[in-house]
Amino acid sequence: MIMNIEAEQSLIGSILLGGAKTMAEIQLIIEPTDFQVPEMQTIYAACLKLYLQNKPIDAVSVLALTGEEYKTTIIPAAQIVPSARHAAEYARIVREAAQKTRAYSLTIELADDLQRNTEAGECQRKAEEVLKCFDEPKQEDTVSAEEMYMRFFDRQDSPREYIHTGFSRLDKYTYIERGDYIIVGGRPSAGKTAFTLQMMRNISRKYTTIYFSLETNNEKLGDRLIGGFNEVSLSGIKTNSITDEEWQRITNGYNEFKKLNFYTVRAAGYSLAQIQAKALQLHAEVIFIDYVTLIRQSGESLVDRATKISMGLHTLAQRNGITVFALSQLNRAGKAAPDMTALRDSGQFEQDADDVFLIEYDEDKPEERVLKIAKNKEGRCGCIQLEFQPKIQKFSEVETRYDET
């Protein structure tokens, strides 16, 4: 164990001297389990309990909770420091020692797993846990009424940065920012992949973007991306029958296409942890996942697994400031227009998402689509008419009235 007994003792002493004022600051930095001396952990837990109950924190009150056997630990701690002035620094030392101890223990386990030839995925998961040991607790961002007004003025004086999808009407009614979590749903053959690949191309002009495909390889994605970018027939690409005119467009488009800042990842069998690791490795700002319920996840049922996936993606987006577009299949329900209740396997997607886009498709009208903004936390919901050109896999907005719902 990598512990600092003196820091733990000094921290307890500082809390006993400083009382609730000191405890208010310390409880934002550490947790009871950060104490590695069992007696100190028990004493700190007692101090925290008194604080939460709005009771005095002193040696007498703490002893009443812990018992007289802790007297030989509490009294010296109260006498070891002259004041509570350095309590926060002691807390950081205690937390750092606890982090190192947890990381060391997990590293030993990882080394054992490697020697026993444990599955690579499990070894990767444990390695990621080692890094998480050094995650810092998120400090509460507290603002006063005055500060809130000042921040508002600052935002109004500065240009707002929203992520533009390349669909001007969609951008007009939604305000997609870094860290948003967006669901793109549709029934099979609605065009979810084509629609989001087109969005990805547009977004990657400014942002580092990754397209994780859990069911399609990079070659097929490349055919669709390059074909769509140059407006070349997908069937011509698939049958090696590209015309001379199309070849000229492909050749001319190379220099512009190579400037796009995106990666495609063949992610079949990926877990949520692997998606996050790859996103951080490539410094992604925006990611697409096609499609979300194929992510490998433990759970007793489909609903349980889907719920964990959605909550994990929401955390990934907010914690890392990465905008997540997650593609989801919709349950089949005849020809009725889909709504959010059709999101497959879990209502958690509807709850967690900042925006939900649903692509409506009528088989009798193969070149028409409706993009339904079914959820929009910071704007209006409604429908946008789209035209789809299946030959070149291209979507275009149709200039009609925006139908609000």
- Residue whose pair of structure tokens reads 């309590």 in the numeric block: 87
Is there a contact between 350 and 335 (Cβ–Cβ < 8 Å)?
no
Nearest alpha-carbon partner for 170 in 397, 404, 400: 397
Domains of the chain by residue range: 1-137, 168-404
CA-CA distance, 59 to 77, in Å (whole number)?
A: 10
pLDDT of residue 154: 87
pTM above 0.85, yes or no: no
CA-CA distance, 259 to 265, in Å (whole number)?
A: 18
Q: How confident is the model at residue 344 (pLDDT cuts 50, 70, 90)?
A: low
| Res. 11: pLDDT tops 90 | yes
Same CATH topology for 1-137 and 168-404: the answer is: no
| Res. 138: pLDDT tops 60 | no
The residues near 65 (Cβ < 8 Å, ≥ 6 apart) are 46, 49, 50
| Res. 332: pLDDT tops 70 | no
| Res. 139: pLDDT tops 60 | no
Q: How large is the average pLDDT for residues 282-311?
A: 88
CA-CA distance, 35 to 40, in Å (whole number)?
A: 6
CATH class given for the domain over 1-137: mainly alpha
CATH topology of domain 168-404: Rossmann fold (3.40.50)
Is there a contact between 96 and 88 (Cβ–Cβ < 8 Å)?
no
pLDDT of residue 179: 95
Q: What would the DSSP string read from start to end of 169-189?
A: HHHHH----TT-EEEEEE-TT
